[in-house]
Amino acid sequence: MANLNIGIILGSTRVGRNSPQVGEWVKGIAEERGDANYEIVDIADFKLPLFGETDASEQLAAWTGKLAQLDGFVFIVQEYNHSITGALKNALDSARDEWNNKAAGIVSYGSAGGARAAEHLRGILGELQVADVRVHPLLSLFTDFENGSVFKPADLHKANVNAMLDQVLAWSGALKTLRTGTVAPL
Ligand SMILES: Cc1cc2nc3c(=O)[nH]c(=O)nc-3n(C[C@H](O)[C@H](O)[C@H](O)COP(=O)(O)O)c2cc1C
């Protein structure tokens, strides 16, 4: 079977954001495994307008085209006002079929590890028919970042990232059989 394609989605878009540091760290751990194709997918690159506000067919086609290439996702989630960012919610809303019958893991950060945002994301993923895995590395703004901005993850998180990726790959591979017609879709 061909390698699975896994997108590491950066959930924040603000100037000065921490998400690229976290995403590159996850990608580095993932690439050491050599078991799938891993790429950073930066929502900011797609310049998505607020869903439905303008025609924006070009941006939407680029976004849904990218998602269609992917078999699974790792969401890099940061907590904004106890939830996910508006940018990530908008990006989730801006596609539908391209999310369906795929798997996802979550790596979150915030003062409480981004736990509240991650739990909100799980509810949204259910509606989009994305199977979110159990293992969920949580990073603390206090102990895994210096001054809340320089990412210095504690060593213990690496094993958790690998365990999360094990689950994402298993479910991404299984769900690919639904999308390719080996098993009848729901
Ligand atoms: C608008 C806003 C709201 C925030 N609300 C929370 C919050 O409710 N809980 C929390 O733990 N951190 C909160 N934070 C802190 C962010 O989690 C922290 O700044 C994090 O680095 C943001 O991710 P980013 O750097 O990738 O944008 C908030 C930050 C911003 C900008």
What is the distance of C-alpha 67 from the center of its chain? 11
Q: Is 131 in the pocket of ligand 1 (CB under 6 A)?
A: no
Cα gap 172→128, rounded to integer Å: 15
Probe target for ligand 1 pocket from 14, 22, 81, with the most ligand atoms within 8 Å of CB: 81
pLDDT in tens, 106-142: 999 999 999 999 999 999 999 999 999 999 999 999 9
* SS3 (DSSP) at 33: helix
pLDDT in tens, 134-152: 999 999 999 999 999 999 9
Q: Is 82 in the pocket of ligand 1 (CB under 6 A)?
A: yes
CA of 100 to the centre of ligand 1 (A): 28
In the numeric block, the tokens 């981004």 are attached to: 114
CA of 165 to the centre of ligand 1 (A): 25
CB-based contact 152:146 (threshold 8 Å):
yes
pTM of the model: 0.97
Q: Is 13 in the pocket of ligand 1 (CB under 6 A)?
A: no
Backbone angles phi, psi at 38, to 5 degrees: -115, 135
The predicted structure's pLDDT at residue 182: 74
The predicted structure's pLDDT at residue 107: 99
State the pairing for strand pair 72-78/5-10: parallel
The predicted structure's pLDDT at residue 186: 57
| Range 19-45 average pLDDT | 98
First-to-last alpha carbon distance for the chain, in angstroms, is: 23
The predicted structure's pLDDT at residue 109: 98
pLDDT in tens, 53-87: 988 899 999 999 999 999 999 999 999 999 999 99
The predicted structure's pLDDT at residue 184: 65
Above 80 in pLDDT, residue 1? no
Average pLDDT, the chain: 96
The predicted structure's pLDDT at residue 180: 92
Q: Is 18 in the pocket of ligand 1 (CB under 6 A)?
A: yes
Q: Is 145 in the pocket of ligand 1 (CB under 6 A)?
A: no
* Beta strands in 31-152, from DSSP E residues, in sequence order: 37-42, 72-78, 102-110, 130-132, 138-140, 145-146, 150-151
> Helix count (H) and strand count (E) of the chain?
5, 8
CB-based contact 165:172 (threshold 8 Å):
no
Percent of the chain with pLDDT over 70: 97
**Angle, CA of 18, 24 and 30, to the nearest 5°:** 140
The pair of three-digit structure tokens given for residue 14, joined into one six-digit string: 């603000």
